[in-house]
Amino acid sequence: MKKTLLLLVGIVLFFGISFAQEDEDAFKIREIYDVALTEGQCYDWLEYLTQKVGPRLSGSTGAAAAVEFGKQTFDKMGFDSVWLQPCMVPHWERGKPSSARIVNSGVIGTQELKVIALGGSGNSGALGVSAEVIEVKTIDEAKALGPRARGKIIFFNRPMDPKQISTFAAYGGAVDQRVHGPREVGVLGAVGAIVRSMTTRIDDVPHSGVTVFREETPIPAVAISTNDANMLSELLKKESVKINLQTNCEWLEDKLSYNVIGEIKGSEFPDEIILVGGHLDSWDVNQGAHDDGAGVVQSLEVINVFNKMGIKPKRTLRCVWFMNEENGQAGAKKYAEWSNAIPEKHIAAIESDRGGFTPRGFTTEADEKVYKTKFKTAKDWEALLGPYGLTISPGGSGADVTRLKPQMGLLFGLKPDSQRYFDYHHARNDVFENVNRRELELGAAAMSALVYLIDKHGL
Amino acid sequence: MKKTLLLLVGIVLFFGISFAQEDEDAFKIREIYDVALTEGQCYDWLEYLTQKVGPRLSGSTGAAAAVEFGKQTFDKMGFDSVWLQPCMVPHWERGKPSSARIVNSGVIGTQELKVIALGGSGNSGALGVSAEVIEVKTIDEAKALGPRARGKIIFFNRPMDPKQISTFAAYGGAVDQRVHGPREVGVLGAVGAIVRSMTTRIDDVPHSGVTVFREETPIPAVAISTNDANMLSELLKKESVKINLQTNCEWLEDKLSYNVIGEIKGSEFPDEIILVGGHLDSWDVNQGAHDDGAGVVQSLEVINVFNKMGIKPKRTLRCVWFMNEENGQAGAKKYAEWSNAIPEKHIAAIESDRGGFTPRGFTTEADEKVYKTKFKTAKDWEALLGPYGLTISPGGSGADVTRLKPQMGLLFGLKPDSQRYFDYHHARNDVFENVNRRELELGAAAMSALVYLIDKHGL
C-alpha cells in the first residue's frame, strides 16, 4: 500500500514536472516570438547590408565592406569573442554586361537576347564568338553530340518542373545544366553555352549562378531569360540560328577574405557548440537580399533575442557569417577543416539560406550512425513548434554547415515557404524591397526557438 | 476454418479496396495539381480583371464591367447554366481624395497627413471640419468621453498586434475601431474620426475599408497611415493638435447589380450542391488583386481543372462570384435568402477571400448539430492533402457563404499564409504585380482537390 502510494506520488511528480517543463518551454517560445516581432533588429540590419553595402561577390570591395559591417555589428552584440577567420577566395569578375545577338535570322534580325554571364564564365574577347546554336535538354544529350558540338554554341533548355510543389526540388532537377553543362560542352570543343534561367517564372529576367570549370579554359557561358529561351527554342524549330555571344568576364588571383564569427561561451557545457549562420557573400548583380542577406541577419537575430530576454546559454552559441558560399565555399571549407581538426563538437548547426519567407520548419541531416536518435529528439519538439507552423523533417541542411557532419551533431536548414524564392534567385530583383519584414522576423524567431530548445535540453 | 478463411479474404478485400481508393484519390489530386500548375487560367483571368476591369466598388461602372466580364467568362466554361442573380447594392462614392491637415502646430505647420476616406464616410463640405483631436485606443474609451467628444475629431489609434502569428487574428483584434468607431463618436457629437490603418506595417500607405453608420448622418471618417498615426500620437503628447479634415464622399441611391453564377448539374446527386466562390467587388482605390480578385479566379479555376481532367461531378457544382462583400454583402444575403428559402442543400461551400498566397489549408464551420461529424470526415482527408501543405482546422469560412449554415453543410474558408495580406488590404498597392502566379495557382489547386474529395465521397 505504502509502495503503491509512493509510486503514485512518483508518477504525479514525474508528469507534473514534465508538464511544467513543457509549459515553461511553451512560455519561453512565445516570449521569443514576441521579442523577435517587436524588438527585432534583423530587418534594419538587412536594410543596411543590402542598401549600403550592396552586392558582395567574393573578392570584391563589396565583400570586404560586408566583412567590415559584420565585424562592427558583431562587436556590439555582447559576444564573449568575435573574430575573423581568414580564407582565400576565388576572384571572378563579370566585367561589362554580356550580350547575345541572333545574327542570321530574317525573322528576328539582330535582336539582343536577355542574358547574364554565369559566375565562372570565360571571356569571349571584344568581338564575341559567333556560332550556330544547338538546343539540348540534358547534359547526356549534350555529351552525345560528340564532335558535332565543336565550334557550336550549346543551348541547355530543360525548364525547372513547375509541377513540383517545392521549388527547390524543381531547381535540383534542372540546375546540373547550369553547374556542369558549359564545362561538358567546352570539353567537346563548343565555343559557348547558353543556359535557360533557373526559375519557374516566364519573364525577361535572366538568373546568374555558378558554373564550374576545372583545368580547362572556361568558355563563354550565359543564362538566358525564360521568355527568350522559349522564343529561341521556337525559332530553332524553324531555322538554323547563329548567335554572337560576347562576355567580358575575368578570372583574377585568389583573394584573402574572412568568415565573421561571434561566440558566447556556454555556462555549463562549453564544449557543446550550437552554430547559427548564413552566408555573407552574394552575387554581384543584386543586393543578395533573400540570398543570403536574410540568412545572415536572421542568425544574428538569435543572439539579439537571447540578449533581450537575458538568456545565458548553457552551451556555447556561435554565430557564423560564411564567406564565398556562392562560388567555391572557401569559407565553409575553412571553418569545417579547422573545427573538425581540433576536433570540436557541434551538437547542432542551423543554416538559413533559402530566403526570408514565412518559415515552415526545419530540414535535418546527420551522420547515419546518429541520425535516427537525434531526429527523434528534434521531432518531439514539434509539439512546441507546431503552433508556429513549424515541422521537423529529413532533408539537407545547408552548404555552409553540412561539412560538420563528422562531429556527429544534427544539422538543420531553415525551411521557408519556397514558392517565390526562384523569382529572385541570383537575379537583379533580389533586393531589399522584396523581403517582407514579418516573414523575415518569423524566420529569425523560429531559429531562436530551436536554439533555445537545443541549448536547454541538449541534442 | 472456412469461416476464418472467408473472414481473411473479406479483410484483404476490404483493405485492398480501401487502399486502392486512397491510391486513386492521391493520384487524382496529384493530377489536379499538375493541371492547375501547367494549364491553369486563373492568373490570366486575374490579369484581365485587375488591369482591364480594374477597381469595382459596388454601384460603380467598374463593378458593372466586372459582372459583364464574369458572365462572358462563365459562358465559355461549359457550365450547364449561367445566370446573373440581381441584388440591390449600396452606392457610395469617395469623390475627390480626402485630406487632413494639422492647422495649429508650430512643429508640423500645415503638413498634409496621409489619409484615405473610409467606405461609408460622410462629406465634410468643401471647407472641411476643423477641430481639436482626441486620441483613444478603444471604443469604450471613446464612449467614456461622453460630452467631451462633442465638436472634436476622435483619433482611434490601437495598432494591430504584431505579436499575433495570424495577421487575421491581429486584424480581428483591432478592426472594431474602423467598423464602429466613427459611428459611436458621431453619436456623441464628434465632427470627424481618424482611424489608424489596419496593417502591421509602419509605412505611408493608408488602408480604407468599411465603416458602418445606421440612421445617423455619417461624419467624415478617414484612415491614416501608420507612420502618420505614430507621428500624430507623439505630437499629441506634447501639445493640443487641431486638424482640418476634408472629405468629398457621397451616398447615392442603391443600384441594381448581380451575383454571377455558373452551375454544373450533378450526375448522381443533383440535389447536393458544392459551392466555390469569392467576391467580385473590390474597393475603389486599387485593383482588388488579392481582395478578392484572387478568390474569384481561383474558384472558377476549379471548373477549368475539372474540365481539363474530364471530371463530370456526381454532385452539383456551383461557382458564385458574389457582389458587394466589401460594404453591405447584398449579394451574399440575396443568395442565401433565395437558396435557404427553396430550401436547397449545400453540402459544402468553399470561399477564398484571404488573398492569393501559398495555401496552408482550410478553416471549417457548420451548425453545431452537425459540425463534429462533418469536421471528422473532412479532417480525415488531411492524409491526402497533407503532402501539399494543407490542414483542415476549425475557424470561420467566409462572409459570402456563412449564411448557408441553416442548410447543415460544412462551410470552408481557404486559408493562405497570412503574413503579407495586410500589407495590401484595402490599399492602393493591392495590385496584380503583388500576386505571385504559383501561389495563386496552388490555392486554386487546393480548392480543386477539396472539391474533388467532397464530390466523390460526399460530406
Residue from the list A38, A165, A437 with its beta carbon closest to the beta carbon of B388 = A165
B273 closest CA partner among B448, B449, B459: B459
What's the confidence (pLDDT) of residue A15?
Answer: 55
* Per-residue pLDDT at A21: 76
- Considering the entire predicted model, what is its pTM? 0.94
> pLDDT category, B21, cuts 50, 70, 90?
confident
Q: Which of B165, B358, B387 sits opposite A419 (nearest CB)?
A: B358
Q: pLDDT at residue B236 above 60?
A: yes
- What number of other Cβ atoms are within 10 A of residue B395's Cβ? 15
> ∠ at Cα B311 (B305, B314), nearest 5°?
125
In contact, A343 and A409? CB cutoff 8 Å: no
pLDDT tens for each residue of A117-144: 999 999 999 999 999 999 999 999 999 9
Which residues, 6+ apart, have CB-to-CB distance to A111 below 8 Å? A101, A102
State the Rg of chain A over Cα. Answer: 24
State whether A163 and B200 contact (CB < 8 Å): no
Residue-level pLDDT at A218: 97
**Each residue of A365-388: pLDDT tens digit?**
999 999 999 999 999 999 999 999
Q: What is the pLDDT of residue B20?
A: 73
Q: How far is CA A79 from CA A307, A309, A312, in A?
A: 10, 15, 11
The pLDDT of residue B432 is 98
Q: Is the pLDDT of residue B191 over 60?
A: yes
Shortest distance between the Cα of A255 and any Cα of chain B, in A, equals 40
- As a whole number of Å, the CA-based R_g of chain B is 24
Under 8 Å between Cβ of A402 and A140: no
B437 vs A contacts (CB less than 8 Å) = 201
**Would the pLDDT of B109 be above 90?**
no
User: Among A38, A201, A423, whose Cβ lies nearest the Cβ of B162?
Assistant: A38
Q: Which domains does chain B have, with CATH numbers?
A: 34-92+253-457 (3.40.630.10), 95-248 (3.50.30.30)
With cut-offs at 50, 70 and 90, classify the pLDDT of residue A104: confident
Using a CB-CB cut-off of 8 Å, the residues of chain B touching A163 are 33-34, 37-38
- pLDDT tier for residue B111 given thresholds of 50, 70 and 90: confident
Q: Is A432 on the interface with B (CB under 8 A)?
A: no
The per-residue pLDDT for A321 is 98
Q: Each residue of B305-345: pLDDT tens digit? A: 999 999 999 999 999 999 999 999 999 999 999 999 999 99
Which residue of chain B has the CA closest to A163?
A: B34
Q: Closest to B419 (Cβ–Cβ): which among A200, A388, A439?
A: A439
Chain B positions touching A358 (Cβ under 8 A) are: 358, 417, 419
Nearest CA in chain A to B164: A34
Size of interface A-B (CB pairs under 8 A): 54
From start to end of B304-388, where are the E strands? 315-322, 345-351, 359-365
Q: Which residues of A touch B165 (CB under 8 A)?
A: 33, 387-389, 442
Query: What tens digit of pLDDT does each residue of A272-306 get?
Result: 999 999 999 999 999 999 999 999 999 999 999 99
Residue A1: pLDDT over 60: no
The span from the CA of A69 to the CA of B265, in Å, is 65
* Residue percentage of chain B with pLDDT more than 90: 93
Whether chain A has a CB inside 8 Å of the CB on B377: the answer is no
Dump pLDDT digits (tens) for A52-82. 999 999 999 999 999 999 999 999 999 999 9
- The overall average pLDDT reported for chain B is 95
**Residue A386 touches partner B, C-beta closer than 8 Å:** no
**Per-residue pLDDT tens over the stretch B371-387:** 999 999 999 999 999 99
Residues of B in contact with A442 (CB under 8 A): 165, 419
ipTM of the complex: 0.92
User: In this complex, do A420 and B436 lie within 8 Å of one another by their Cβ atoms?
Assistant: yes
How far does the CA of residue A359 sit from the closest CA of chain B (Å)?
Answer: 10
State the smallest CA–CA distance between residue A438 and chain B in angstroms: 6
Mutate to test the interface with A, among B417, B425, B439 (most CBs of A within 10 A): B417
- Report the pLDDT averaged over residues A9-37: 80
